[in-house]
């Protein structure tokens, strides 16, 4: 301490300062380059992924072209492949999941952000994030051992009797089915939709609520007229995020969907999804065309997922730019 | 300074000790195989024999010091990795076809290791614990979707005295590509020209009817939970999970219960020439005692172009695997051992001088 004080007058302070500044800015530059490299890694990786999928599916694209998307035969022995039932199954199971999950998740999110006492909010929010951490194979096993027997003996017969006029609820009940897959998916995407839309609702400024209440609205009316419209885009983002997850889910779905390459009108009939088919057949696919067809399916799934995710990002970005809502959700 | 040099000496000492420790297992193996002992082999492929392979490789490593690293990624993956030379040996439940063999310029030997059997398991309310009996045409028609009721008179004729319900037959098959499926549809292709022409043989096929369950456990759960279901699983799986399974009429006209003995009997029924490439299907075998839905599972080994030490190590293992003790280990895990004539053929295929017996 004393030596440094004593030596100080010998070197002019401004020289020392500029030297340390130079050093600091050098460190800054290195740091910046490192970060840029790290960030560049993502698009490069994505590029490789697309390239690889494209390379892998070229054989099948050359052979089947766009008819791959419109035909239904899946015969590894004769090497005839069509992915329509897979695309259909992916979209339908995800739709069922959203039809069930969106109202429930929104209800929970509204309750947690608007009505729940403080002592309930944190524990429930914590439990929801815990749900999101359960591995999908566990959901699948639970589906096989608990959900399917339950549905087969209670919900399915009830639906078949009550809505016998709808083709959706006709035909034999096996258990594993498009409907079972939709329900499992609903349970799996709910935590995502819940926690994101809860964050979005929490980010709605109190002035919105106060204004509505000040005009004589009840709390319920305030939520409907002032809070939800304000958070609309953010909630849409949450839903699309859930949809993206439902489209790509593999293990739990393949364990409960029945894995049949067929388009059936009844939700009780077994179906198949793109992700499930890839997971099931890839490891034992021997023929080049079979492999290539699976890569083609992966490529199509990638296209669908990218479109959905881009939509979600766009929506949340719009909200975030306007008012800061949703920025927390990201 | 003094302290630092002490540290240096200590760490050097430790390093020496560590090296000594590394050498010990290799020295233990001793003899002619010590060169091989230090090498580690890698293999990949079939999932069906994975439990016995794990057991074998573990036992083998303990007695010889040769470590074999096996990844059960599936037969298709095994053949691919073998072809791309990323592994020292492959393993598969379905033999490589001619096109695949051309892809490796014929540089492959199939070595059978054990025999697996596939059984029909079912859930028929009212039939109790009765062992149902099936014959080839009935099985084919059930899986083609043409025989749809449990009380069909053809099933009833095979099972006198069994109370068969008026229920739909619900077929359950594997949804994932699998050697089990390969064996089962190979059998169906042999017994039914219609199956052969309409569906064919592969690790995954275009099933005319039924639900797909993922893995043995998926099929089992589906069968257990669905009244009227019928599916197929590996014999080991059926035994260890106490599932009911069917007796099947074989090519000699006898109803044979699937056991390790009847599976081995199926393999002893086939006549292999001395120069066989072992790529034989033993489904629907003709022996009087042969259970008809069985198959070898194979190791894929290169004939040439392999690092000599590794080639030596692989063939040493094949020799060890074909001895009586290793085959007994297989039986303990419910894999049917190879019959004597096949073992002799395998041993005759091992090149070079005899290695020390373990």
Would you kindly state where each structural domain of chain A is located, as residue ranges? 67-319
| Token pair listed for B2 | 């003094």
A255/B214 Cβ within 8 A? yes
B214/A284 CB distance under 8 A: no
B58 dihedral zone (left: phi>0; alpha: psi -120 to 50; beta): alpha
Give the pLDDT mean for B285-302: 92
CA distances from A209 to A121, A192, A230, B44 (A): 19, 25, 10, 63
Of A101 and A316, the one with more pLDDT: A101
Closest approach of B192 to chain A, Cα-based (Å):
16
Residues of B within 8 A of A144 (CB-CB) are 218, 221
**Residue B56 token pair:** 């074998």
- Domain B4-115+262-284+292-348 top-level CATH class: alpha beta
Residue B9, pLDDT score: 42
User: Is some CB atom of chain B closer than 8 A to the CB atom of A144?
Assistant: yes
ipTM of the complex: 0.75
Q: Percentages helix, strand, coil for chain B, rounded to the nearest 5?
A: 45, 20, 40
For residue B74, what pLDDT band results from cuts at 50, 70 and 90? Answer: confident
Single out the residue of A198, A224, A221, A186 nearest to residue A116, CA to CA: A198
- Residue A14, pLDDT score: 65
Rounded CA-CA distance B63/B59 in Å is 6
Q: With 90 as the cut, is the pLDDT of residue B72 above it?
A: no
Contact list, A284 vs chain B (CB under 8 Å): 74-77, 176-179, 203-204
Give yes or no for A289 touching B (CB within 8 A): no
Q: How do residues B40-65 score in pLDDT, each as one tens digit?
A: 899 998 888 888 999 999 999 998 88
pLDDT band at B12 (very low <50, low <70, confident <90, very high): very low
Which among B76, B168, B214 is the nearest to A284, CB-wise? B76
pLDDT recorded at residue A11: 55
The DSSP output letter for B112 is: E
pLDDT tens digit sequence for A175-186: 899 999 999 999
Whole-structure pTM value: 0.79
Cβ contact, residue pair A73, B206, below 8 Å: yes
pLDDT, averaged across chain B: 84
Instruction: Output the 3-class SS for chain A.
Output: CHHHHHHHHHCCHHHHHHHHHHHHHHHHHHHHHHHHHHHHHHHHHHHHHHHHHHHHHHHHHHHHCCHHHHCCCEECCCCEECCHHHHHHHHHHHHHHHHHHHHHHHHHHHHHHHHCCHHHHHHHHHHHHHHHCCCHHHHHHHHHHHHHHHHHHHHHHHHHHHCCCCHHHCCCCCCCCHHHHHHHHHHHHHHHHHHHHHHHHHCCCHHHHHHHHHCCCCHHHHHHHHHHHHHHHHHHHHHHHHHHHHHHCCHHHHHHCCCCCCCCCCCCCCCCCHHHHHHHHHHHCCCHHHHHHHHHHHHHHHHHHHHHHHHHHHHHHHHHHHHCCCCCCC
The rounded mean pLDDT for chain A is 86
**Is B225's CB within 8 Å of A255's CB?**
no
pLDDT at B2: 41
Higher-confidence position of A15 and B34 = A15
> Which is nearest to A199 in space by CA: A318, A322, A321, A316?
A316
- Model confidence pLDDT, tens digit, residues B216-257: 888 998 898 888 999 999 988 888 888 899 999 999 999 999
Contact: B199, A285; criterion CB under 8 Å: no
Residues of chain B contacting residue A77, judged by C-beta atoms under 8 Å apart = 199-202, 205-206
Q: Binning pLDDT at 50, 70 and 90, where does residue A315 land?
A: low
> Across the interface, do B226 and A259 touch by the CB < 8 Å criterion?
no
For chain B, helix (H) and strand (E) counts, in that order, are: 15, 11
**What DSSP element (H or E) covers B182?**
helix B179-191
Pairwise CA distance, residues B291 & B297, whole Å: 16
For chain B, what are the domain ranges?
A: 4-115+262-284+292-348, 118-259
Distance between CA atoms of B356 and A185, rounded to whole angstroms?
58
Whether the CB-CB separation of B250 and B212 falls below 8 Å is answered with no
> Do A283 and B77 lie within an 8 Å CB cutoff?
yes
Chain B residues touching chain A at CB-CB below 8 Å: 73-77, 79-80, 94, 97, 100, 168, 170, 175-179, 199-207, 210-214, 218, 221-222, 225-226
Residue among B168, B176, B199 minimizing CB distance to A284: B176
Q: How far apart (Å, rounded) are the C-alpha atoms in residues B189 and B239? A: 26
Q: What is the pLDDT of residue A308?
A: 73
Q: What is the pLDDT of residues A265-295, one digit of tens each?
A: 899 999 999 999 999 888 778 788 999 999 9
The whole-number pLDDT of residue A295 equals 94
CATH homologous superfamily for B118-259? Periplasmic binding protein-like II (3.40.190.10)
Q: Indicate yes or no: CB of A279 within 8 angstroms of CB of B77.
A: no
> What is the per-residue pLDDT for A2?
43
> pLDDT tens-digit profile of B250-277?
999 999 999 999 999 999 878 888 888 8
Q: Which of A247, A242, A244 shows the shortest CA–CA distance to A278?
A: A247
Q: Look at A39-43, A249-253, B31-35, B179-183 and tell me which has the smallest mean pLDDT.
A: B31-35
Confidence (pLDDT) at B75? 83
Q: Each residue of B191-204: pLDDT tens digit?
A: 999 999 999 988 88
User: Within an 8 Å CB–CB cutoff, is residue A218 touching chain B?
Assistant: no
Strands A74-75 and A80-81: antiparallel
Mutate which: B92, B175, B183, B226, vs A, most A CBs within 10 A: B175
* DSSP string for B35-52: HHHT-EEEEEE-STTHHH
Q: Which of B176, B179, B212 is facing A258, going by the closest CB pair?
A: B212
- Cβ–Cβ of B212/A260 closer than 8 Å? yes
Q: Is the pLDDT of residue A173 over 80?
A: yes
The pLDDT-based confidence of A28 (bands split at 50, 70, 90) is: confident
| Distance (Å) from the alpha carbon of A255 to chain B's nearest alpha carbon | 6
> Looking at the predicted structure, is the pLDDT value of residue B178 above 90?
no
Q: Which residue of A has its CA nearest to B185?
A: A77
* Percentage of chain B exceeding pLDDT 90: 52
**CB distance from A259 to chain B under 8 Å?**
yes
pLDDT at B126: 80
Asked if the model's pLDDT at residue A168 lies above 70, the reply is yes
φ, ψ for residue A189, nearest 5 deg: -90, -15
**C-beta separation of B243 from B220 below 8 A:** yes
Whether A175 and chain B come into contact, CB under 8 Å, resolves to: yes
Contacts of B100 in chain A (CB under 8 A): 286
- CA-nearest of A176, A156, A324, A325 to A252 is A176
A174 vs B contacts (CB less than 8 Å) = 170, 211, 226
**CB contact at 8 A, B74 and B46:** yes
Residue in B94, B178, B200 closest to A77 by CB? B200
Residue of B nearest to A291 (CA): B76
pLDDT at A312: 66
Structure tokens of A160?
């078949």
**Minimum mean pLDDT range among A97-111, A233-247, B183-197:** A233-247
Is there a contact between A286 and B94 if contact means CB atoms under 8 Å apart?
yes
pLDDT tens by residue, A93-128 = 999 999 999 999 999 999 999 999 989 998 998 898
Give the range among A2-16, B128-142, B201-215 with minimum mean pLDDT. A2-16
At the topology level, CATH places domain A67-319 in MetI-like fold (1.10.3720)
Mutate to test the interface with A, among B83, B203, B231, B297 (most CBs of A within 10 A): B203
Distance of CA A112 to the CA centre of its chain: 22
Q: How many Å apart are CA A116 and CA A105, to the nearest integer?
A: 15
Summarize the confidence of residues B303-320 as an average pLDDT: 89
pLDDT, tens digit, for every residue of B128-176? 677 899 999 999 999 999 999 999 999 999 998 888 999 999 999 999 8
């Amino acid at each position: 301490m004393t030596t440094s004080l004593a030596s100080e007058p010998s070197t002019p302070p401004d020289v020392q300062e500029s030297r340390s500044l130079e050093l600091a800015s050098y460190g800054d530059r290195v740091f910046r380059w490192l970060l840029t490299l790290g960030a560049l890694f993502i698009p490069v990786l994505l590029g490789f992924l697309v390239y690889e999928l494209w390379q892998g599916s070229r054989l099948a694209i050359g052979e089947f072209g766009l008819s791959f998307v419109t035909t239904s035969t899946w015969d590894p022995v004769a090497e005839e492949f069509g992915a329509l039932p897979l695309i259909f199954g992916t979209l339908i199971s995800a739709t069922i999941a959203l039809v069930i999950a969106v109202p429930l998740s929104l209800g929970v999110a509204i309750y947690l952000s608007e009505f729940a006492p403080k002592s309930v909010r944190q524990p429930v929010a914590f439990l929801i994030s815990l749900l999101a951490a359960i591995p999908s194979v566990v959901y699948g096993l639970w589906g096989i051992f608990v959900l399917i027997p339950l549905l087969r003996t209670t919900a399915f017969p009830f639906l078949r009797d009550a809505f016998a006029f709808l083709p959706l609820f006709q035909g034999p009940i096996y258990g594993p089915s498009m409907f079972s897959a939709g329900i499992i998916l609903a349970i799996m995407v709910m935590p995502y939709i819940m926690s994101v839309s809860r964050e979005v609702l929490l980010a709605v400024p109190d002035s919105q609520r106060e204004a509505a209440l000040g005009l004589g609205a009840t709390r319920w009316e305030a939520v409907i007229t002032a809070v939800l419209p304000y958070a609309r885009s953010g909630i849409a983002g949450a839903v699309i995020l859930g949809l993206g997850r439902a489209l790509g889910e593999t293990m739990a779905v393949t364990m409960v969907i029945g894995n049949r390459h067929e388009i059936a009108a009844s939700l009780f009939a077994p179906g198949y999804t793109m992700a499930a088919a890839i997971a099931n057949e890839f490891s034992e696919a021997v023929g080049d065309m079979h492999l290539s067809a699976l890569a083609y399916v992966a490529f199509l799934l990638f296209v669908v997922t990218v479109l959905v995710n881009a939509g979600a990002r766009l929506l949340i970005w719009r909200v975030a730019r306007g008012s800061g809502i949703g920025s927390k959700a990201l | 300074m003094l302290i630092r040099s002490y540290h240096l000496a200590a760490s050097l000492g430790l390093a020496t000790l560590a090296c000594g420790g590394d050498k010990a297992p290799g020295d233990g193996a001793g003899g002619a195989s010590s060169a091989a002992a230090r090498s580690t082999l890698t293999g990949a492929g079939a999932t069906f024999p994975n439990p016995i392979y794990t057991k074998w490789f573990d036992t083998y490593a303990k007695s010889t010091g040769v470590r074999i690293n096996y990844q059960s990624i599936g037969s298709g993956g095994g053949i691919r990795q073998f072809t791309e030379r990323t592994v020292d040996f492959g393993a598969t439940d379905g033999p490589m076809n001619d096109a695949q063999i051309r892809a490796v310029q014929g540089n492959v030997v199939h070595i059978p290791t054990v025999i697996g059997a596939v059984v029909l398991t079912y859930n028929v309310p009212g039939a109790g614990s009765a062992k149902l009996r099936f014959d080839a045409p009935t099985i084919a028609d059930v899986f083609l979707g043409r025989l749809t009721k449990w009380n069909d008179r053809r099933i009833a004729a095979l099972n006198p005295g069994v109370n068969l319900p008026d229920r739909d037959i619900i077929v359950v098959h594997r949804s994932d590509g699998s050697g089990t499926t390969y064996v089962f549809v190979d059998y169906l292709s042999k017994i039914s020209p219609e199956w052969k022409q309409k569906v064919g043989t592969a690790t995954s096929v275009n099933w005319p009817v039924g639900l797909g369950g993922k893995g043995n456990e998926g099929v089992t759960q589906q069968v257990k939970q669905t009244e009227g279901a019928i599916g197929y699983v590996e014999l080991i799986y059926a035994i260890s999970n106490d599932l009911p399974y069917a007796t099947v009429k074989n090519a000699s006209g006898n109803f044979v219960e699937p056991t390790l003995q009847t599976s081995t009997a199926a393999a002893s029924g086939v006549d292999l020439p001395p120069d066989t490439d072992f790529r034989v299907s033993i489904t629907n075998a003709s022996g009087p005692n042969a259970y008809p839905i069985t198959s070898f599972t194979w190791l894929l080994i290169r004939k040439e172009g392999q690092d000599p030490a590794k080639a030596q190590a692989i063939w040493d293992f094949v020799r060890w695997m074909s001895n009586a003790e290793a085959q007994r280990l297989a039986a303990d895990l419910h894999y049917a051992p190879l019959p004597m004539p096949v073992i002799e053929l395998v041993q005759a295929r091992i090149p070079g001088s005899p290695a020390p017996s373990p």
